[in-house]
A and B are shown apart, each in its own frame.
Chain A
Amino acid sequence: MALTRRDFIKVVGIGAFAATTGCTKLSEFMDEGAVSVPPNGVEKWIPSVCGQCSGGCGIIARVIDGRVVKIEGNPLSPINRGTLCARGQAGLQVLYDPDRIRAPLRRVGDRGSDRWREIGWDEAIGEVAERLNGIRRKGIPHKVAMISGSERGSMDLLLCRFMEALGSPNYFLMPDDNDDIQIDAISVMQGIKGRPLFDISRARYILSFGSPLIETFSSPVQTMRMYGEFRGGNGKMRGRLVHISPRLSVTGIKADRWVPLRPGTEGVFALGIAHVIIKESLYDRDFISSHTSGFDGFREILLKEYTPSYVSKITSLAEDRTIEIAREFASFRPSLAIANRCRLYDQMAIHSLNALIGSIGKRGGIIFQSAPGPYALPLSERAIAMTPISGSPYTLSEAIRNGSPYSLEALLIYNCNPLFSLPDMHEASRGIPFIVSFSPFMNETARTADLILPNNTYLENWGDVLSHTAEGTAIGIRQPVLKPIYRTMQTGDVILRIARNMGGDIEKSMPWGSFKDALFYSLRQLRKRKGEVFGISKGLRGEEEFLEAMLAGGGYREPSDYQRPGEFDFHQVTSPQAVRDYKKGLSGGDEKDYPLYLNIHRLSTHSGITDYNQPYLKESLTPEIPEAWDSWVEINPETGKRRGISTGDMVVVESQAGRIRLRARLYQGIMPDVVSIPFGLGEAGLGRWNKNIGVNPEKILVKDIDLPSGNLIRNSTRVRIYRADG
C-alpha cells in the first residue's frame, strides 16, 4: 500500500492550514517572559518500579537536586528491558499533579458535597483504629470490607494479612484491567489457577478474539516487546495476526487481517473453526491423546452441529472465512488463540482451539509457571468463619444494597476507583456508614469517603511487584526516588500504624515497624533461592550486600519452574449448559427499541483503574481517532447517515439503564449495528485535567453478570442513538 502525496496532504494538511492561517491578535503571541527552567545540577538515576499499571516495569528516575525530571525504562529489568509505554513516560504528571491530596482529610459536609478539612495523621489513624475496634468489639468484624487495586507484591500480602487479623473475609482485589485473557476458561478446563503466559514472541500465528493485545494486555510493555519479536525481530520469521472483533482497534489495524464479527458470536465462530480443524484432520493427535479428555464427544457434537453453514448463519460471515482461518491457524504452528475475558463459555470455545493444535505448555503457546511467587509474607493463622459478602467484586454492590448475606459497617478503599469501574457502587456506597479512602487523588470514590488518608505516589513509595516473563519470574523493587513532597504517607505504613493503635491480636500479627521493614523481611529471604540480582549473577557476600545490590539494580529474577499444563477437558465446551449459552447469544435489551450494540473499547493511555489527571495522556488518547480531551461515540457512516448524524454532532446514547451525551465520530472501522465508546474517561475526579472531561460508558451498561464466571459482560448492552438536538 503506497502512501501518496495526496493521502498525506489530505490527512495532515488540515492541521497545517489551521496553524498558519489562524487569525489572532498580535498581543497574544508577542508577550515576553518565557518560563525559566530550574537550573542543572548533580544528576542521579534511581531505579524503581512503575506504578501506572500492575505490569511491573522497571524504571530509572533522573533526579537533579531533588527534582525528578525524567523516567526511563530500567535496562536491567527483564520485563521491559529499558523501554516504557506512554503511561510510564507520563509518570511525572502523577508525582507533580497539582491537584493531589496533600494531607489527611475529614469530610465536613454531606457526602458528595466536596467539603473537607485537613487533619493530622495521628487523628486520622486514631479514628480509623477506634472505628474498626468498635466494630470488632460488637463481634462483627466480617462487616469490614476492603477493595484493593491489583498489586502483585508485599503490599497485597500486607493488606490481606490485616483483613485476616481483623477477622474479615472481605478482601477484594479489583479486577485487573490488563487481565483481558481467557483466565477463567484456563482455570475451569485445566484446573490451573496461576497466571498463564502467552508466548507471543515465538508464536507464528495469532487469532485475537477482540483482545486488546497491543493496547493494554497483561504486562503491556512486555507484550509489546514480544509483539515486536513476533513481527520478525531477533531474526525470527514474521508472525501473522488476525483480529476478530466488531471494532477495528489498534490491534485490528496492526493485524494482517481484521474480521468484523457480531458481538456475542465469538464462541460459535471458534467452534466453527474447530469443526474445520477436526473435519480436515488438522489437529494435534499426540497432544489430544496424551493431554486431553472428552475429545470424542466434543468431535461428535462439533461435526454434527457447528458446520460452516450453521456458523455462517449465526455470525453472518462467509463460510469460506471460517475455513480459511481454520486452515491458517492449524498450519502456521505454533499458533495462539487469545480470548477476551468475556462469557465463560465463549472463552472456553476459543481456548479449545489452543488444545486442538497442542499450543499448551510449549514454546510459542501458553506457558504455565509455578504460582504463587517465590516468596511471601507469612499469612496469619487465624481462621475466618464467615463467608464473603460477595463472590465477585462485580456483585458486591448488589450484596451491599440488599444487605444480603449481611450489611457492611465499613469499607476501606486502596489504590482503585470502584465507584468508577464497578457497576452500581454509587448507590451501594450510600448504605455504608464508614468509608475510608487511601487515594492520593480526589477521584469519584474518594469524594464519597468520610476520611481520606492519602497515599504517596509510587515515586515516593517502597514496594515490590512480582511479574512473569517467558524466561522466568522477576521481582521489581520500588524505592522512593524522592521524599514525599506533601503530608502524605505510604498506605503500608498507615495500615501498620492502625494495627498498632488497635492493639491486641492485630498488633501482634503485624509486628513490623514500617512497611519498608516488612518489605525487606521478604526480600532477604530471596537470598536463599536460585535466582540473581538484576545485572549481577554472582559474588555477593552477606545479606546486606545482597539487599544493596537489589536496590541498585532494581530487582531480582529467577528462572521459571514450568508447571505441567494439566489435563485439558473438552467435555465442558459442549456441555448442555454451554451449548445453551452459545445459542442464546447476548441479551441486553429489546432489539426493536434498542437496535444497536454498545461496544466499550480500551485505550492504551487510560486503563480506567486509576486516575488520569495527566494532561499528556489526555492529549494523545489513541492514535486511530483524532480526538482529545473528551469522549466520543464511534458510529458506522451508514448508520450515522440514516440518523442524520455527522462527526462532531452531540448525540444521546440510550440504553435501558440510562443515557449519556457525547460527540459522534463516524468511523469506517465499526460494524453498522454496533457503536463503540472508549473506556477510561469521565472519571468524575476533581483534578483540573479530569474534571468534566468525557463520560463513563459503563454508566449505561445493562448489568449482565456471567453466572459461571462472575464476570461483568461488557458487550451485551443494546442502545439507541439520536441527535441531542432532535
Chain B
Amino acid sequence: MAKWVMVIDLDKCTACQACVVACQVENNIPIAGPDETERQRIIRWMEIIPFIYGEYPDVRMRLLPRPCMQCDNPPCTKVCPVRATMLGPEGIVAQIYPRCIGCRYCTSACPYTVKYFNWHTPSWPEEMRNSLNPDVSVRPAGVVEKCTFCIHRLQKAREKAAAEGRQLREGDYIPACVQTCPSCAMYFGDSENPKSIVSDLIKSPRAFRLLEEIGTEPKVYYLSEGQ
C-alpha cells in the first residue's frame, strides 16, 4: 500500500504563492472578497504562514507553506461525531462533504488550522463558472473542507495506468501545488517505495515535521533552511 508524502524544501522555497493559487484554481476554492477576508473566513487549503522573530534590526522571518499535514494520527478525525473525516487507506485524510454536519469540532481540533468552514454557498460570477474544474465538486454551505493532496488526481492517474495496463509510476500522481512550484522546492511521492525521491529526502538531517512532539505524525515534511 502506498503512503503519500509531501516534502517542502524551505531553502529553495521563494514563498511566491504559486502553490496557493494553483490549489485554489484546481480545487474550485470560492473567492472570499474583502469583507469575508476581513472576517478571517477566507479559505486557502494551501497557505504561506509568516513567522517573525526578534526586533529591528535583528529580525528574522520564516515563511512556511502549509497544506493539510495528512497526519497518520489525525486529531481531527477523532472528534468527528459522524465520521465525515477519516484516515484513508493510503494515508490521505478524507473529508466526506455529504456527511458533514458543520459542527466544526475538527476545525478546533486541528493543531495546524487547515480545516475551513463554508459560511456561505460559494458563488462565482456566471462568466467564471466555465473555469471550474469538473473533477472537483463545489462544497455547499455548512460543511468543512481542507486540502485533499488533490486526491482526484490520484484517481485519474490510477485509471490512466489501468487503461495502459501498468502499475502507477513515480510522478504519475502529484498535487497541483507541487506541479507548479517554480523553484522545484516541493516533492511528492510514495514513501513506501524505497526508490522514490521522498523516501530519501525524509531521511535527510534537515527534515522536520511541524509540531512533531504532539504525536500527530504528519506526512508533510520540511527541509530546514540555511544548511
Secondary structure class of chain B's binding surface, majority of residues: loop
The bracket for how many chain B residues form the interface is 35 or more
**Known A28-B120, A617-B21; contact A232-B11, beta-carbon cutoff 8 A:** yes
| A37 and B28 form a contact (CB under 8 A) | yes
Interface check A383, CB cutoff 8 A: no
| A248 and B32 form a contact (CB under 8 A) | no
**Known A232-B12, A619-B42, A623-B48; contact A260-B184, beta-carbon cutoff 8 A:** no
| A95 and B141 form a contact (CB under 8 A) | no
Interface check A725, CB cutoff 8 A: no
| A231 and B12 form a contact (CB under 8 A) | yes
Interface check A707, CB cutoff 8 A: no
**Known A15-B40, A34-B139, A92-B25; contact A214-B181, beta-carbon cutoff 8 A:** no
| B182 and A67 form a contact (CB under 8 A) | no
A406 to B98, CA, bound (A): 70
A24 to B179, CA, bound (A): 38
A668 to B110, CA, bound (A): 30
Q: Which of B17, B107, B110, B213 contacts A5 (CB 8 A)?
A: B213
Binds B, one of A410-418, A487-495, A669-677: A669-677
A14 to B116, CA, bound (A): 14
A485 to B66, CA, bound (A): 37
**Residues in chain A near residue B180, CB distance under 8 A:** 72-73, 83-85, 88-89
| B134 and A19 form a contact (CB under 8 A) | no
Which interface residue of B64, B127, B210 has the most chain A CB atoms within 10 A?
Answer: B127
Interface check B155, CB cutoff 8 A: no
**Residues in chain B near residue A433, CB distance under 8 A:** none
A15 to B44, CA, bound (A): 12
A158 to B42, CA, bound (A): 44
| A98 and B15 form a contact (CB under 8 A) | no
Interface check B135, CB cutoff 8 A: yes
| B120 and A83 form a contact (CB under 8 A) | no
| B39 and A22 form a contact (CB under 8 A) | yes
A97 to B130, CA, bound (A): 11
- Per-residue CB contact flags for chain B residues 33-59 toward chain A (1 = under 8 Å, else 0) read 110011111101000111111111101
**Residues in chain B near residue A623, CB distance under 8 A:** 15, 17, 48, 50, 63
Contacting residues of chain A (593-642) with chain B, CB-CB under 8 angstroms: 604-605, 615-617, 619-620, 622-626, 628-630, 636-638
Interface check B61, CB cutoff 8 A: yes
| A33 and B17 form a contact (CB under 8 A) | no
A64 to B15, CA, bound (A): 31
A617 to B180, CA, bound (A): 16
Give B11's nearest chain A residue, CB to CB: A231
Contacting residues of chain A (7-35) with chain B, CB-CB under 8 angstroms: 7-8, 11-16, 18-20, 22, 24, 28-35
A11 to B61, CA, bound (A): 12
Q: Closest approach, in angstroms, between the C-beta of B78 and any C-beta of chain A?
A: 17
| B128 and A98 form a contact (CB under 8 A) | yes
Contacting residues of chain B (154-184) with chain A, CB-CB under 8 angstroms: 176, 179-184
| A624 and B15 form a contact (CB under 8 A) | yes
**Known A89-B18, A98-B128; contact A250-B102, beta-carbon cutoff 8 A:** no
A6 to B211, CA, bound (A): 10
Q: Closest approach, in angstroms, between the C-beta of B79 and any C-beta of chain A?
A: 12
A40 to B132, CA, bound (A): 10
**Residues in chain B near residue A14, CB distance under 8 A:** 40
**Known A32-B140, A221-B182; contact A615-B48, beta-carbon cutoff 8 A:** no
| A86 and B63 form a contact (CB under 8 A) | no
A278 to B56, CA, bound (A): 32
Interface check B118, CB cutoff 8 A: yes
A46 to B134, CA, bound (A): 18
Q: Closest approach, in angstroms, between the C-beta of B147 and any C-beta of chain A?
A: 15
**Known A83-B184, A619-B32; contact A35-B138, beta-carbon cutoff 8 A:** yes
Q: Which of B14, B39, B53 contacts A254 (CB 8 A)?
A: B14
Interface check A405, CB cutoff 8 A: no
| B182 and A83 form a contact (CB under 8 A) | yes
Q: Closest approach, in angstroms, between the C-beta of A251 and any C-beta of chain B?
A: 8
**Known A12-B113, A253-B61; contact A82-B15, beta-carbon cutoff 8 A:** no
A39 to B137, CA, bound (A): 11
**Known A13-B113, A35-B124; contact A670-B56, beta-carbon cutoff 8 A:** yes
Q: Closest approach, in angstroms, between the C-beta of B108 and any C-beta of chain A?
A: 5
A80 to B55, CA, bound (A): 37
Which interface residue of A71, A238, A248, A615 has the most chain B CB atoms within 10 A?
Answer: A615
Interface check B1, CB cutoff 8 A: no
**Residues in chain B near residue A295, CB distance under 8 A:** none
| A80 and B182 form a contact (CB under 8 A) | yes
Which interface residue of B12, B102, B104, B141 has the most chain A CB atoms within 10 A?
Answer: B12
| A86 and B16 form a contact (CB under 8 A) | yes
**Known A35-B138, A253-B15; contact A620-B33, beta-carbon cutoff 8 A:** no
Q: Which of B37, B50, B59 contacts A11 (CB 8 A)?
A: B50
Q: Which of A3, A8, A16, A82 contacts B108 (CB 8 A)?
A: A16
Interface check A256, CB cutoff 8 A: yes
27 sampled A-B residue pairs with Cβ under 8 A: A3-B51, A8-B211, A12-B113, A15-B40, A29-B102, A34-B139, A35-B121, A35-B132, A37-B138, A82-B179, A84-B182, A86-B22, A96-B128, A224-B16, A228-B14, A231-B12, A232-B12, A250-B15, A253-B15, A253-B62, A258-B59, A619-B32, A620-B21, A620-B44, A637-B56, A669-B59, A671-B56
9 further A-B contacts with Cβ under 8 Å, apart from A20-B107, A254-B14, A630-B34, are: A12-B66, A70-B26, A85-B16, A214-B14, A250-B14, A256-B226, A616-B25, A619-B42, A668-B54
Residues of chain A touching chain B, judged by Cβ–Cβ distance below 8 Å, are 1, 3, 5, 7-8, 11-16, 18-20, 22, 24, 28-41, 64, 67-73, 80, 82-86, 88-90, 92-93, 95-98, 214-215, 220-221, 224-225, 227-228, 231-233, 238, 248, 250, 253-254, 256, 258, 260, 604-605, 615-617, 619-620, 622-626, 628-630, 636-638, 668-672, 693
